[in-house]
Amino acid sequence: MTVNPDYLVLFFTTTCGASGELLGSDETETVQLVWQVLNLATKKTGPLSEVLVKPESVCVSEECVEVSGVSAEALSSAAPLEEAISQFSERLCSEINTDEGNSFCLCTDGQLHLRQVLHPEASNKNVLLPECFFSFFDLRKEFKKCFPSEADQKDLDLKSMVDYLNLSEDSSDHVFTALKVFQMSSIAQALISEPTCHTFSCPEKVNEKFETGTCSKMERIDDNTVIRARGLPWQSSDQDVARFFRGLNIAKGGAALCLNAQGRRNGEALVRFESEEHRDLALQRHKHHMGSRYIEVYKATGEDFLKIAGGTSNEVANFLSRENQVIVRMRGLPFTATAEQVLQFFSPSCPVTDDCEGILFVRFPDGRPTGDAFVLFSCEEYAENALKKHKEILGKRYIELFRSTAAEVQQVLNKYSSAPLIPIAPSPILPVVPQPTFVPSAATIAAVVGTRDCLRLRGLPYDASVQDILLFLGEYTADIRPHGVHMVLNQQGRPSGDAFIQMRSAERAYLAAQRCHKRSMKERYVEVFPCSAQEMNIVLMGGSLSRSGLSPPPCKLRRLTPASYSFPPGGAVLPTGALLPAGAVLPVEAAPVYPSQFLLSPRPLAPTAFYPATNQMYMNYTAYYPSPPGSPPNMNYFPTSHAPSAGSVLSSPPPTMIRMHSHTSAHAYASGVKEILSMVQGYQPSNSDALVTLPSLLSAKQPIGDQSLGGGAYLDLQLLHTTSL
């Protein structure tokens, strides 16, 4: 209470459970308060005093009975903690005569009696402790000041200090608690007497309230002062975390709640204490309870804390510089919301601190709003009134409201300010799928492998067409390769919302992604990422492409994960689904076409009970099929009068002949031109008279692959040049 008190109160507590160095670690209740007053001027002590405390569950351990000498019957008639504290204060004040201006301060044997026992229990029971419990002297530390060469402070106890000072003790007529208090009185008298003449001054403080604040990423934090708390209720705040660690001094702004990748609390918090001693005491609260949940407590590092609570933004620092403010987070704001609308949303029952200055909108690096904002309120009453507006309507959207923290403000701002405008997936460590032939020229294929000269469009409206994509790209449409627009369909043949576009160069693809990223198409914003042809092929064949990298196409067989994928080399093939006249030959433009099924290369397996090493296993999977590709020339995007010239980038390549040879003629002769054109829909014939049936042409060229058709017919699909006719 004061720097130099007149009286020293030697204070000791007992709980229902463990004692000694484990006092308070088992989260048991207090059952006994014992104290003795020492007059620092006259060096005389008063009588030994005691107050029993009735626990909520009268279940006393044998160790407690042995230490305190109190039976369960005596505790059942005692007063609860709040009344016991009042009795202690009244009896102490009357003994010291505080009305005459005399001051006193508590003195304990170590830190546990106040920091680990009384303060946590009073917090859990919502008991307000008197002011005298927020400052005290640690007798071990005072002894260490007088005798610095003695054993380490962690190894000190009352018996070792009594032996060092050669003090006599008579333990025959005293129970354990009384003996401990008498030992403390003897040690304190010896310290204030000659030759030591120690002065008890500057007592330790117990923080009464957690102070919020900011932390810079440039700040240096001791690794031995940080812990990680896990298992917190999702609605808990930094004040709830500070309440769990009541009695221990948390650094200013030292409670930081962690968020997951979606910006929501994940039940963890990083807490920074003022000293290593308090960190060690916090670790003893491992699996103590917050409500009905137990909280796990582990060591952490200063770097961990800075990742969560550190920030560099001046705007955030100015926003959080207003102390003793309650922060509320708004989520789901309309992108057009203004500060005036937010003020109107909260008025008049909960005015915002400093009006518009008390509102912080969260934005992307390019200035676009994220739909989040933080609002300051000057008191708990205003904040509680504001939280009652949870899920009320602002504009046409309902708004979610949550109590927030300074560390959460830093995390959310750091997340969005550091996010790249166009996230680029990292290249895979090992190639997953060799590139199929999308462009007939082998030289062209070799040139584009590993080059990000393609675009991926994600989030397309499901009714978007190729024409919509061309309009969306605007000036960059002229840079699309012939037949370079690929709409990705799901396994049911419906649009998946993705599309891939092959561009003329990596530079144009990058510029198009920068310019078109998150533009709107039919009231939806579309994400545009640059990617390579290899990455495009993997997605088109059923794999996935995300920020974490490439994932291979799914395998339907259980217990088996292929180490690599390889596909038989060859030219382009056409999708199946129609019967063709025997020997039909159709000239079409050179275009990327895709296989509908693949047989994976066999992989030897380790010997097991299910798969002998000699067996070769083949795996197939269902792919995500691209729609027939399109580009400005074949979609009639450009008017005829403005069609590209022969030397233009968009000019069509020379026509190629495709021969479709039937192995059985029973169904093939029944098919006509309509069925053939239906099969190659999307692959533009050079003219309407290009279809020629050659039943007598049976000579085979290099086969590409057998495609199974309905009705039992099989076709060899072959590419021919016009000279082959």
The whole-model pTM stands at 0.57
Q: Which value, in Å, is the radius of gyration of the alpha carbons in the chain? A: 39
What is the spatial distance between Cα 476 and Cα 376, in angstroms, rounded to a whole number? 46
3-state secondary structure of 154: helix
Chain length of the chain: 725
Token pair for 65? 């009975």
**Cα dihedral 273, 276, 278, 280 sign:** positive
Identify the bridge partners of residue 401 per DSSP, sorted by sequence position.
Answer: 330
Torsion angle in degrees (nearest 10) through CA of 102, 108, 113, 116: 100
pLDDT of residue 724: 42
- For residue 192, which of 38, 48, 3 has the smallest C-alpha distance? 38
Sequential DSSP letters for 23-83:
TTTT-PPEEEEEEEEEETTTTEE---EEEEB--SS----HHHHHHH---HHHHHTSB-HHH
Token pair for 288? 């103590």
pLDDT of residue 17: 85
Q: Cβ(399)–Cβ(333) under 8 Å?
A: yes
**Secondary structure of 395-429 in the HEC alphabet?**
CCEECEEEEECHHHHHHHHHHHHHCCCCCCCCCCC
Identify the bridge partners of residue 657 per DSSP, sorted by sequence position.
Answer: 587, 720
* Residue whose pair of structure tokens reads 């491992």 in the numeric block: 286
pLDDT of residue 670: 54
Q: What are phi and psi of 583, to 5 degrees?
A: 75, 15
What is the spatial distance between Cα 231 and Cα 289, in angstroms, rounded to a whole number? 10
- For residue 556, which of 605, 508, 491, 622 has the smallest C-alpha distance? 622
Query: What Cα–Cα distance (Å) separates residue 673 from each residue in 579, 581, 582?
Result: 10, 8, 12
What is the side-by-side order of every strand in the sheet holding 480-489? 480-489, 495-503, 454-458, 524-531, 519-521
- For residue 618, which of 568, 545, 666, 680 has the smallest C-alpha distance? 568
pLDDT of residue 45: 92
3-state secondary structure of 391: coil
* 195: preceding bond cis by omega (within 30 degrees): yes
Question: DSSP E strands: which ranges in 326-449?
Answer: 326-331, 359-363, 369-377, 393-394, 397-398, 400-404
Q: Cβ(547)–Cβ(531) under 8 Å?
A: no
Residue 172: HSE in the Cβ half-sphere, 13 Å Cα cutoff: 2
Beta strand 706-708 with 692-693 is unpaired
What is the spatial distance between Cα 304 and Cα 297, in angstroms, rounded to a whole number? 15
Residues in the chain with pLDDT values less than 70: 1-2, 170-174, 312, 418-450, 542-725
- For residue 4, which of 148, 137, 194 has the smallest C-alpha distance? 137
* Residue whose pair of structure tokens reads 């039940």 in the numeric block: 267
pLDDT of residue 553: 52
Residue 43: HSE in the Cβ half-sphere, 13 Å Cα cutoff: 12
- For residue 37, which of 136, 85, 105 has the smallest C-alpha distance? 105
Residue 706: HSE in the Cβ half-sphere, 13 Å Cα cutoff: 8
What is the spatial distance between Cα 669 and Cα 591, in angstroms, rounded to a whole number? 27
Torsion angle in degrees (nearest 10) through CA of 133, 135, 141, 146: -120
Query: What Cα–Cα distance (Å) separates residue 216 from each residue in 317, 357, 579?
Result: 9, 22, 71
* Burial degree of 192 (CB within 10 A; 0-12, 13-18, 19+): middle
pLDDT of residue 635: 60
pLDDT of residue 331: 92
Residue 235: HSE in the Cβ half-sphere, 13 Å Cα cutoff: 5
How many helices and strands (H and E) does the chain possess?
19, 32
